[in-house]
Structure 1
Amino acid sequence: MWIEKNGPTYRIRDLIVGKKVTVKSGFITKTAAKNAMKVLEADQVRGDYVDPRAGRVALAEWIDLWWPSHQVKLKPTSIKSEGARIRNHIQPWLGEYALSELTPMIVKSWVAQLLAGDEEVERDPLSPKTIRNAHGLLYAILQEAVHQRLIKTNPCQRTGLPRVEHKEMRFLTEAEISRLVSAMSAHWRPLVVLLVATGMRWAEVAGLKVKHMDVLARTVRVEEALHELAAGQELVTTAPKTERSRRTVTYPRDVAELLVPLVSNRGRDAYVFLGPDGGAVRYRKFWRLYVRCAARAGLSGLRIHDLRHTHAAHLIAGGVPLTGVQRRLGHSSITVTSDLYGHLLPVVDENILTAVESSLSKIDFRGLVGETDGDQARSTSSNVA
């Protein structure tokens, strides 16, 4: 902050969101302006000061200032998804509001509008999960405005969100896996088989290169992920989803035999899986084919990601502990694995019961049945005596 002469009076100026603004004005003397500025600076040190003029910045304008520094921390896929949420779900509804005008009630109304949709402008209702993602992004945008002292509190706090209904995962049986693989053309069978046999994510399999494969040791090293951000655009290679996603995954001998022709006599940096045109595999083209083949196999609605869930279910059915499942799937923590697949472990309750029975086996509960408090007291006195 600084003091400026303004006609016959003095005013306090400050730089807010890159713009010079007048904080207070009309001081008769420079000393009076200095004393007022000291109070404001003390409020800044305590964190109590928020210039009401700063809140006049429109949300859309603030997003334009906030986004460049935010997106440098994101992967290309997150830049695409979060950018779409801002363009489609935040700016059209809230962009014209000044930051200071946004209140919890306005945010609640925005959530309700997203949930209901708008027929006049042909906006379909959004799912609770999509709304939660948009709300979380808006929270982050406005929280930075709080940190920058543009507003005092985040209006996204305690606004309430629609409940996300739990959807049962889909797991394929051995017979269903066989039908799906048989329905695929010979060109795509090795890719589908590897998805089921390893539980790898689609982008991890699409990004596999010859140098990542060891068909003799029957291992694959997950080091890269290949993403199609938009139809017709250049594919983007990124690091795996999390640091724990960098992993080595084994696979059966039969799978190795399917992969041998795909890696033999090829350069180390060549992609293992290619499209029919010889280029890298594109998700959208494969998805359209996959949907038709799954329907022919009697598996309509089957997602590619369901193959990953199927792999996890078969591991658990085979007695693999959750820690092993976590490492193989590349989850960031055991909590993620437990939340997703913990309900598939009915043997856990049986093991707990066995442990409890073992620890209590030396206690004669039958001798305690019907015993009154008085009996217990006399027994205790007798033992003491």
Structure 2
Amino acid sequence: MWVERHGPGWRIREQVAGKKVTIESGYPTKTAAKAAITRMSADRMRGEYIDPKAGRITLGSWIDAWWPSYAATLKPTTQRTESSRVRNHIRPLLGHLPLDEVDTLAIQQFVSTLAAGGEGRRPISPKTIRNVHAILHKLLDAAVGQRLIRVNPSGSTGLPRVRRVEMRFLTTPEIGRLLAATPEHWKPLVTLLVATGLRYGEATALRVGRVDVLAGRLEVLEAMHDGIGGVPIFTDPKSERSRRTVTFPPAVGHVLAPLLVGRDRNDLVFTDLDGKRAVTRNFRQRVWPRILEDAGLGRVRLHDLRHTHVAHLISAGRPLTAISRRMGHASIAVTSDVYGHLLTEVDEGIMTAVAGMLPPPPDGGNLGGTGSEQPGAGRNVNEVRAGQML
């Protein structure tokens, strides 16, 4: 590499494949250009050299190069959602920028635009913004790995806080109203969701050969998701522990039995109204809201039926380890994190059970005694302790 004058300033030149090429230009003095050569040479010796021209590749071009190999590692449903986020948000707002101009400020402005909307764009939720930002972070991390840029500028982005969606737990009377308002065709599906806590995709992927109504159990081996153009996608369950056997009471077997008679083992248990197609998104988007309206229940997500199932198990004092296995959670920590706040209801029952194990105290349980000769008689425990400390 060498320096030479270029217009009013100086530039760095190098011979590559027999041709003289400009590495960088625009240095105000010869000394500044030579100092840059020294830094570049040191970076090359350490294996940290970044070609300045590499950063001029647009983010859109880098998406085209990076996406196919990344998409191949994703489940079909994840590939569909992440592709949508890149196509609808990242490419339109940042795709035209060279990689070296996608800096911290540009990314922060990008996040603000997603949150505020405007110019024909609707605001999107904090959770969606975080999901979009996560993909952008992966994009830029890969660019760092290919030595197109030196650092990932998305690491310090301020992101909107995600508001926790409150879980809805239906009471026994509310469950009765829900089932009463459910059309006959859909009643077996809703009953199963309430009685087993299956994820919606696990229930809609259930096949005839995996249900044993006499034994009162079913096998969860697949999950179904909405694909492009309404074509269903069948995948492995959410985690390895989601592959499980789930039991159900005779009442559930009673409503499932008619759906199994005379059908092939590989047929789906639940179908759309035509009795042939897999359950479509029409159930979630149109049928379910009408059921809730008829039942007078307000806003209840289908996933809240799973939460309801867990809440009733916890209220009945069932062990958290058993609940975790039944739900197919990746670990008991997941169960505890999601439902731990409900355990206070169980604590009261535990204390009652523990009290029943022990003989009653001789003084009837009144701490400090009841006679006037006892110090602190007529005072509560805190008053007695305070008197002892004085």
TM-score, normalised via structure 1 length: 0.80
Q: Given the alignment, which residue of 289, 292, 301 partners 1:291? A: 289
Q: Given the alignment, which residue of 298, 305, 308 partners 1:307? A: 305
User: In the alignment, which residue of structure 2 is the partner of 1:378?
Assistant: none
Q: Given the alignment, which residue of 10, 15, 20 partners 1:11? A: 15
Point out where structure 1 has 5 or more consecutive residues left out of the alignment.
1-8, 14-19, 27-35, 359-364, 373-385
Quote how far apart the aligned CAs of 1:259 are: 1.1
Q: Report runs of 4+ in structure 1 exceeding 4 Å deviation.
A: 20-26, 39-42, 347-352, 365-372
Matched, 1:263 2:260: yes
In the alignment, is the contact (CA less than 8 A) between 1:228 and 1:282 conserved in 2?
Answer: no
d(CA) in 1 for partners of 2:306, 2:21: 58
d(CA) in 1 for partners of 2:179, 2:345: 31
Quote how far apart the aligned CAs of 1:256 are: 0.9
d(CA) in 1 for partners of 2:48, 2:260: 64
In the alignment, is the contact (CA less than 8 A) between 2:198 and 2:327 conserved in 1?
Answer: yes
Point out where structure 2 has 5 or more consecutive residues left out of the alignment.
1-12, 26-35, 359-380
1:288-367 pair list within 5 angstroms: 288-347=286-345
Residues 268 and 258 of structure 1: CA distance in aligned 2, closer, same or farther (over 3 Å):
same
d(CA) in 1 for partners of 2:189, 2:125: 31
Quote how far apart the aligned CAs of 1:302 are: 1.7
* Helix, strand or coil at the partner of 1:265: coil
Q: Partner amino acid for 1:345?
A: L
* Helix, strand or coil at the partner of 1:259: helix
Q: Given the alignment, which residue of 117, 125, 128 partners 1:130? A: 128
Residues 316 and 24 of structure 1: CA distance in aligned 2, closer, same or farther (over 3 Å):
same
Quote how far apart the aligned CAs of 1:264 are: 2.0
Matched, 1:277 2:274: yes
d(CA) in 2 for partners of 1:181, 1:187: 12
* Helix, strand or coil at the partner of 1:175: helix
Residues 247 and 41 of structure 1: CA distance in aligned 2, closer, same or farther (over 3 Å):
farther
d(CA) in 1 for partners of 2:154, 2:295: 46
d(CA) in 2 for partners of 1:10, 1:105: 33
In the alignment, is the contact (CA less than 8 A) between 1:11 and 1:22 conserved in 2?
Answer: yes
* Helix, strand or coil at the partner of 1:240: coil
User: In the alignment, which residue of structure 1 is the partner of 2:206?
Assistant: 208
Could you list the per-position Cα deviations for residues 12-53 of structure 1 after superposition, in whole angstroms to 9, with x for gaps in the alignment? 36xxxxxx9968499xxxxxxxxx99x968745734221111
User: In the alignment, which residue of structure 2 is the partner of 1:245?
Assistant: 242
Residues 44 and 325 of structure 1: CA distance in aligned 2, closer, same or farther (over 3 Å):
farther
In the alignment, is the contact (CA less than 8 A) between 1:12 and 1:25 conserved in 2?
Answer: no
d(CA) in 2 for partners of 1:62, 1:196: 46
d(CA) in 1 for partners of 2:127, 2:263: 43
Quote how far apart the aligned CAs of 1:266 are: 1.5
Quote how far apart the aligned CAs of 1:265 are: 2.3
Could you list the per-position Cα deviations for residues 276-323 of structure 1 after superposition, in whole angstroms to 9, with x for gaps in the alignment? 212233332212112111100002322111111111111111112322
Q: Partner amino acid for 1:201?
A: R
Could you list the per-position Cα deviations for residues 68-120 of structure 1 after superposition, in whole angstroms to 9, with x for gaps in the alignment? 111111111111110111011111111111111111111111111111111x3
Q: Partner amino acid for 1:158?
A: S
Q: Partner amino acid for 1:268?
A: R
Farther off after superposition, 314-323 or 276-285 = 276-285
Q: What percentage of residue pairs aligned between the two structures are identical?
A: 49
d(CA) in 2 for partners of 1:349, 1:171: 19
Q: Partner amino acid for 1:234?
A: V
Farther off after superposition, 279-288 or 103-112 = 279-288
User: In the alignment, which residue of structure 1 is the partner of 2:116?
Assistant: 116
Residues 281 and 21 of structure 1: CA distance in aligned 2, closer, same or farther (over 3 Å):
farther
Count how many residue pairs are aligned between Structure 1 and Structure 2: 340
In the alignment, is the contact (CA less than 8 A) between 2:117 and 2:124 conserved in 1?
Answer: yes
